[in-house]
Every structure is written in C-alpha cells, then in structure tokens.
C-alpha cells in the first residue's frame, strides 16, 4: 500500500456524509473522497474481500481502477470518470470503434487468465478520453464462463448485438466461432422467457 493512503486504512476519519455518492449497487456504496480517490463501502466483508482480491491481482492493468488498500468492509480505489457503456450507447449509439475496443478488452480477460470472461455493459465505463475501464469485476477467477453472456444480453437489449457480432466475425473469426452458438442459444433462451 502506498504510504499516503495508509491514513485511509489505519485511521479513517473522513466524514462520508459530506462526500458525494458516486453510485450504489447490490454490494455497496461508492463515495468520492476529498483527494479524488473513491471509497467503496461494501455491505459485507466477504464481498469486499473478493472484489479486492481481483482488483489487487490485476493492479496496474489499464483496464481496471488501481486499488490502494482495504480494511474490513471498505477499499480505496481510483475514480473512473465517463459513462457506463450502457448509458454511452443509449446516448451516442454504437460504432465499430467501440466494438473493437470491447473485443480488445475481452482479449485482455484471456491474457489475465480470467476463468469468467464476461462483464456487464453497466460495468464497463467509457472514459472521457474514449478508453474503456471495468469498474466492478466479479468472480473473474472463480466462475467459469468462456463467452460474453452478460454482455450479449445488454447489447441485445440495446439493439446492437448483431452489429457487434458482425464486427467480431470480421476481425476475430476464431473468437466468433468460439462465441457464436453460445451467444445465439443464450439469446434464444432469454427471449423465450420474455414471451
Ligand atoms: N471507481 C469508480 N469511479 C467512479 N464511480 C464508481 C467507481 N466504482 C463504482 N462507481 C459507481 O458506483 C456504482 C456502484 O459501484 P459498484 O462497484 O458497481 O457496486 P456493486 O458491487 O454494489 O454493484 C457504479 O455503478 C458506479 O456508478
Ligand atoms: Mg455494480
């Protein structure tokens, strides 16, 4: 842990009531700290530990916020600006450039030897400089998944899945062959559930 962040871990004395809430999820609440870093206060120590384990393992990777330490049910990590990919697509639409960036992100999951190679659209952020970051990695080293199930559900809802898969086919035919039937089957399953 960097020396300057020890204060947060050993003697946390920031009043969170005065900090801006950046967001809230099933596992915790994320606040902006006065120095621009963020604190995620988790509802359980277990979920804090498992998320911290992943972020610490990939620490320094450009696709993830850096973490600076954890204590009990909270961790300090870098702020990620921009919009979630879901909100970004809703506002600006989808294009080849973003599709390519998402493909490269999934290739990074392979390089990091994630056993779960999947992520939700809302957990990918498009930063102001147009690069991508994953804010909330879960079960990356514990769950087995070799195709983008969550991502394809999100893309399908946004009406961009077919275009995305077209780009995958053109650019990474091997990956397309790995994903295609699984994605198709999963989308068929969820569309039957909706009927
Ligand atoms: N590093 C971050 N920088 C900026 N906002 C963040 C960051 N991490 C989380 N958030 C915001 O807080 C929300 C909840 O955080 P998240 O880590 O997804 O919690 P949960 O594990 O409960 O789903 C996110 O949807 C996002 O809006
Ligand atoms: Mg979340």
Give per-residue pLDDT as tens, 153-181. Answer: 999 999 999 999 999 999 999 999 999 99
Q: How confident is the model at residue 182 (pLDDT cuts 50, 70, 90)?
A: very high
pLDDT value for 2: 52
172 in the same domain as 92: yes
pLDDT value for 97: 97
Domain boundary among 77, 110, 141: 77
Cα–ligand 2 centroid distance for 5 (angstroms): 24
CA 186 → CA 34, 122, 147, distances in Å? 44, 19, 10
Which residues are found with C-beta within 5 Å of the ion, ligand 2? 25, 136
Mean pLDDT, residues 30-49: 96
Residue 67 in contact with ligand 1 by CB distance below 6 A: no
Residue 85 in contact with ligand 1 by CB distance below 6 A: no
Residue numbers of the domain that contains 89? 83-194
* Number of compact structural domains in the chain: 2
Joined together, the tokens standing for residue 101 give: 């960036």
88 in the same domain as 54: no
73 in the same domain as 90: no
Residues 6 or more apart from 55 whose CB is under 8 A from it? 64, 65, 66, 67, 75, 77, 137
Mean pLDDT, residues 23-29: 96
Atom of ligand 1 nearest to the CA of 28: 22
Q: Which ligand places an atom closest to the C-alpha of 135?
A: 1
Cα–ligand 1 centroid distance for 122 (angstroms): 9
Mean pLDDT, residues 73-94: 97
């Amino acid at each position: 842990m960097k020396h300057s962040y020890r204060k947060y871990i050993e003697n946390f004395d920031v009043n969170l009531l005065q900090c801006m809430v950046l967001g809230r999820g099933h596992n915790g609440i994320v606040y902006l700290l006065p120095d621009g870093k963020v604190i995620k206060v988790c509802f359980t120590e277990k979920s804090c530990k498992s998320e911290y384990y992943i972020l610490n393992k990939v620490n320094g990777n450009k696709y993830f916020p850096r973490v600076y330490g954890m204590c009990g049910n909270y961790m300090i990590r870098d702020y990620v600006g921009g919009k979630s990919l879901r909100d970004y697509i809703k506002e600006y639409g989808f294009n080849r450039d973003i599709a390519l960036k998402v493909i490269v992100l999934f290739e990074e999951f392979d390089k990091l030897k994630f056993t779960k190679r999947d992520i939700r659209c809302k957990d990918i952020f498009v930063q102001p400089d147009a690069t991508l970051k994953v804010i909330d990695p879960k079960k990356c080293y514990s769950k087995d998944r070799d195709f983008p199930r969550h991502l394809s559900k999100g893309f399908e809802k946004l009406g961009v899945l077919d275009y995305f898969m077209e780009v995958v086919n053109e650019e990474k035919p091997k990956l397309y062959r790995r994903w295609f039937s699984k994605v198709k089957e999963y989308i068929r399953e969820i569309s039957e559930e909706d009927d």
